[in-house]
C-alpha cells in the first residue's frame, strides 16, 4: 500500500527507501538489513505520529481515499453469506445503495449501505455512492422486510450526499429521505449504523437513524460537505479546510461531543492500508452492539431510540 496523500510525503519518502532496500532481497548486506529495520520502525513511528494528530481536513482526505474499503468490501469481509436485493418496486434500482439479507456471525441480518464503487466504470455504475430517491425507497423496502422477519439492520454509511439532480427533484429526493428517517424512527428491530468513510449530510442521515451509531476512526460526518459549507458561510470553497475544522466533522471530535456511540479503530495509516483488519475491527464492534441490543425488548428499544434523538441539540433561554 502506498502513502499518497499530501501530508503523507515524509512517509512516502521512507516507503521508497524501504522498497529500494527490499528489492535487493537476498543480496542485502548486513548493515543494509539493519538500515531496513530502522526505516520500518521509523515509518511506523511517523505514521502513528501523523495519524494521531490528523487535522479535520486531513481526515476528510483519508475518509475519501480511493482505496478505502467500501460497503461491498466490508460485506464480503464480514459476512458468511450475502444475497443482494435490487429495486424499489416502483421505478427502478439505484446502485448507489446496495443491500440484502446476510449471515453475520452466524445470524441473519439485513445489510444496507452506500456503495461508491472503485475505478471509473464502477463509480459510474454506483453513481459514486450518491443515491437517487429510488435508493432510499429500496432501503425502506429492505428495512421493512427486516422488520417482518425480525432481522437486525446494519447500515454502512459512505456518501458525499444524496444526488442533487433535477430528475431527483422530480422524483422527490426530499420526500424519499424524509420517508426513510420516518421508517427508521419507528422500526421494530435493532438498527446499527456505521460510518465507514463519508457521512455526507441528509443523504447519509437517511440510513443512519439508529440505536447505535459507530464511526471508523478516520471517517467523517458532516451537515454539508466542507466545500459546500465554506461556500455557504464564506462564499468561497477555498475555505473548506476551515469549515471542516469549525464543524467538527471527524469521528474523534464527534465522539468527544458524545454524538456517536463508538469509535472503531482503524489499521495503521487508515483502513485503506489493511481492509481485512478494518473489517475485523468493525465486525467486532458490530457483534458487541448487536448482542447488547438483542437483549432489549423491542418496545423499550424503540422508546430508547426515540429518547436518544429527542434529546439532541442544546439550547438556552434569553433572560
Binding site for other proteins (CB under 8 A): 147-148, 162, 164-166, 168-175, 177-179, 181-183, 185-186, 188, 201-202, 205-206, 209, 221-224, 228-229, 231-235, 239, 242-243, 245-249, 254, 257, 259, 299, 302-303, 305-306, 309-310, 312-319
Shortest Å distance, C-beta 155 to other proteins: 13
Q: Which residues have CB under 8 Å from 33's CB, separation 6+?
A: none
Tell me whether residue 66 or residue 148 sits nearer to other proteins (CB atom).
Answer: 148
State the nearest-atom distance from the C-beta of 214 to other proteins, in Å.
15
On the 0-12 / 13-18 / 19+ scale of CB atoms within 10 A, 207 is buried
DSSP alpha helix (H) spans, 55-172: 56-63, 71-78, 119-125, 133-149, 166-170
- Closest approach, Cβ 301 to other proteins, in A, equals 11
CB neighbour list of residue 14: distance below 8 Å, 6 or more residues apart: 39, 42, 43, 46
Give which of 195, 199, 127, 198 is closest to 163, Cα–Cα. Answer: 127
- The CB-of-248 to other proteins minimum distance in angstroms stands at 5
Residue 187 or 271: the one with the smaller Cβ distance to other proteins is: 187
* C-beta of 113 vs 161, nearer to other proteins: 161
Smallest separation (angstroms) from other proteins to the CB of 152: 17
Contact 159, 205 (CB under 8 A): no
DSSP string, 210-249: -SEEEEETT-EEESS-HHHHHHHHSS-GGGHHHHHHHHT-
Which grid coordinates are listed for 153? 439492520
Least separation in angstroms between CB 255 and other proteins: 11
Residue keyed to cell 489499521? 267
CB of 142 to other proteins, least distance (A): 15
SS (H, E, C) 166-180: HHHHHCCHHHHHHHH
- The smaller minimum CB distance to other proteins, of residues 31 and 170, is found at 170
Q: Specify the residue, 1 or 256, whose C-beta has the smaller distance to other proteins.
A: 256
Q: Which CB, 72 or 264, lies closer to other proteins?
A: 264
Work out the widest C-alpha separation in the chain, in whole angstroms: 78
Nearer to other proteins, 23 or 318 (CB): 318
Give 75: exposed, middle or buried? Use CB within 10 Å, 0-12, 13-18, 19+.
buried
- By C-beta, is 50 or 246 nearer to other proteins? 246
Residue 37: count other Cβ atoms within 10 Å of its Cβ. 12
What are the cell numbers at 76? Answer: 464480503
The least distance separating other proteins from the CB of residue 87, rounded to whole angstroms, comes to 19
Amino acid at each position: 500500500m502506498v502513502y499518497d496523500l499530501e501530508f503523507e510525503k515524509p512517509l512516502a519518502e521512507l516507503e521508497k527507501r524501504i522498497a529500494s532496500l527490499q528489492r535487493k532481497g537476498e543480496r542485502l548486506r548486513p548493515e543494509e538489513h539493519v538500515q531496513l529495520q530502522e526505516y520500518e520502525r521509523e515509518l511506523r513511528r511517523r505514521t502513528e505520529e501523523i495519524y494521531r494528530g490528523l487535522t479535520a481536513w486531513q481526515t476528510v482526505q483519508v475518509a475519501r481515499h480511493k482505496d478505502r474499503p467500501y460497503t461491498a468490501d466490508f460485506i464480503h469481509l464480514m459476512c458468511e453469506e450475502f444475497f443482494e436485493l435490487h429495486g424499489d418496486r416502483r421505478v427502478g434500482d439505484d446502485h448507489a445503495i446496495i443491500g440484502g439479507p446476510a449471515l453475520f456471525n452466524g445470524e441473519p441480518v439485513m445489510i444496507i449501505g452506500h456503495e461508491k464503487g472503485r475505478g471509473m466504470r464502477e463509480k459510474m455504475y454506483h453513481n459514486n455512492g450518491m443515491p437517487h430517491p429510488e435508493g432510499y425507497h429500496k432501503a425502506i423496502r429492505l428495512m421493512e422486510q427486516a422488520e417482518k422477519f425480525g432481522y437486525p439492520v446494519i447500515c454502512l454509511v459512505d456518501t458525499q450526499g444524496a444526488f442533487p439532480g433535477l430528475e431527483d427533484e422530480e422524483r422527490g429526493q426530499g420526500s424519499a429521505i424524509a420517508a426513510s428517517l420516518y421508517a427508521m424512527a419507528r422500526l421494530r428491530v435493532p438498527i446499527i449504523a456505521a460510518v465507514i468513510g463519508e457521512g455526507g449530510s441528509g443523504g447519509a442521515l437517511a440510513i443512519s437513524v439508529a440505536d447505535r451509531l459507530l464511526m471508523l476512526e478516520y471517517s467523517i460526518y458532516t451537515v454539508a460537505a466542507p466545500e459546500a459549507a465554506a461556500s455557504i458561510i464564506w462564499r468561497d470553497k477555498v475555505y473548506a479546510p476551515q469549515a471542516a475544522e469549525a464543524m467538527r466533522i471527524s469521528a474523534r471530535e464527534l465522539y468527544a461531543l458524545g454524538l456517536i456511540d463508538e469509535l472503531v479503530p482503524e489499521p495503521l495509516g487508515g483502513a485503506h492500508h489493511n481492509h481485512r483488519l478494518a473489517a475485523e475491527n468493525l465486525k467486532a464492534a458490530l457483534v458487541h452492539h448487536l448482542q447488547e441490543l438483542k437483549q432489549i425488548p423491542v418496545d423499550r428499544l424503540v422508546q430508547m431510540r426515540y429518547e436518544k434523538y429527542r434529546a439532541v441539540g442544546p439550547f438556552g433561554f434569553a433572560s
